[in-house]
Structure 1
Amino acid sequence: MQPTDAQEASGGKLRPWKKGATPALLATSMEGSKRTLQDYLGKPLILNFWASYCGPCRLEMPAFNMLMDLYSDKGLRVLAVNHGEMPARILQFLKAVPFNGEVLLDRSQTQMKAWSAYALPTSFVIDAKGQVRFWHVGEIDWSERDAQAKIQQVIEG
């Protein structure tokens, strides 16, 4: 039996995106402004769906800070799209687990499904043109050689 794309994407390594066009993103900033993926074109991006109650999400946040530090000269950004929680809970979480990227809200809980994500965390590596290149369902070791090579591939175009 052939694994589904989602099963393949949960194997511990970033997998190529095979689902066609990049899905639309509609989320809200912590300040209340609407955000779409077009707001982030021009530089590489990791889009991560997460929640404060998700243990693996908590473990990934410091890794995202490391990636942004490592690739700051290349403009890598991380968008952490929270799945359904109130801003007060998110701010409380961020006091305990600092995150240097941008946090967006998906209070409607519609964006994960739109992106074919079925579990938290799920991450997408997106190139400067806004095309998803790789994805992963579940926690991943972002310092691992394969992940680093794929991020560099996206950064270099």
Structure 2
Amino acid sequence: MEKKHSAPHLQQHRRAHLRHLGALACVACGLAGTLRPSHAVQPADAKEASGGKLRPWKKGATPALLAQTLDGQQVTLKAFTGRPLILNFWASYCGPCRLEMPSFNMLMDLYGDKHLQVVAVNHGEMPARVLQFLKEVPFEGRVLLDRSQTQMKAWSAYALPTSFVLDAKGEIRFWHVGEMDWTDSDAQAKLQLVMGG
């Protein structure tokens, strides 16, 4: 598989993105009291986070997924089988979610959609709010909505962001709570393992 960017270049690119988004995150945190909806899930704190490492999934079978596209079409997990998938739960009011988005974009640049899918499931927000967020923080993967606010519980996700790595058969292999650098060596090794079968 041909890689488009070297690891050092990815790290420099990520740092530049994080510097730019840091200011946005601070603004978001400052406005959290007025912008955060009543159904909001708390961002993962240091105690809840997985320590920057993907953990093996040990909670049984992969849950069902029922979400909607931005134009209201129903989507299930079956739509993504056949290729490895990162499924990420996020919200616009979540500072760590904002900081993690550029790392997902770098994965898409590195591997392309043919080898790895990245799908971000928004927790409970209106389409207009999600679209406004995407104008501020571009995302190269696919965005879905969980307007019913049921999917995080179904997937045993208790904080934002939470991500799951699924293989081509649709089975969860790894998961992570909190923001992480998807270009670091540990994440890359585990993604290569999943993509390799």
8 Å contact from structure 1 (residues 48, 122) kept in 2: yes
What is the CA–CA distance in structure 1 between the aligned matches of 2:187 and 2:115, rounded to whole Å?
17
Point out where structure 1 has 5 or more consecutive residues left out of the alignment: 1-6
Point out where structure 2 has 5 or more consecutive residues left out of the alignment: 1-46
Aligned residues: 151
Aligned runs of 1:23-38 on 2, under 5 Å? 23-38=63-78
Aligned runs of 1:102-121 on 2, under 5 Å? 102-121=142-161
Offset from partner CA, 1:116-144 (integer Å, 9 cap, x none): 00000000000000000000011111111
Runs of 4+ aligned residues of structure 1 deviating over 2 Å after TM superposition are none
Q: Which moved more, 1:113-122 or 1:138-147?
A: 138-147
CA spacing shift, 1:8–1:98, aligned 2, 3 Å: closer
8 Å contact from structure 2 (residues 48, 178) kept in 1: no
Q: Which residue of 1 aligns with 2:166?
A: 126
What is the CA–CA distance in structure 2 between the aligned matches of 1:74 and 1:84, rounded to whole Å?
29
Q: Percent identical across equivalent pairs?
A: 78
Structure with a larger share of its residues in helix: 2
What is the CA–CA distance in structure 2 between the aligned matches of 1:73 and 1:35, rounded to whole Å?
18
Which of 39, 52, 55 matches 1:12?
52
Offset from partner CA, 1:40-98 (integer Å, 9 cap, x none): 11001100000000000001111101001111175211110000000000000000100
- Partner SS, residue 125 of structure 1: strand
- Aligned-residue CA RMSD in angstroms? 1.4
8 Å contact from structure 2 (residues 66, 74) kept in 1: yes
State the shift of 1:20 in Å.
1.1
Q: TM-score, normalised by structure 1?
A: 0.92
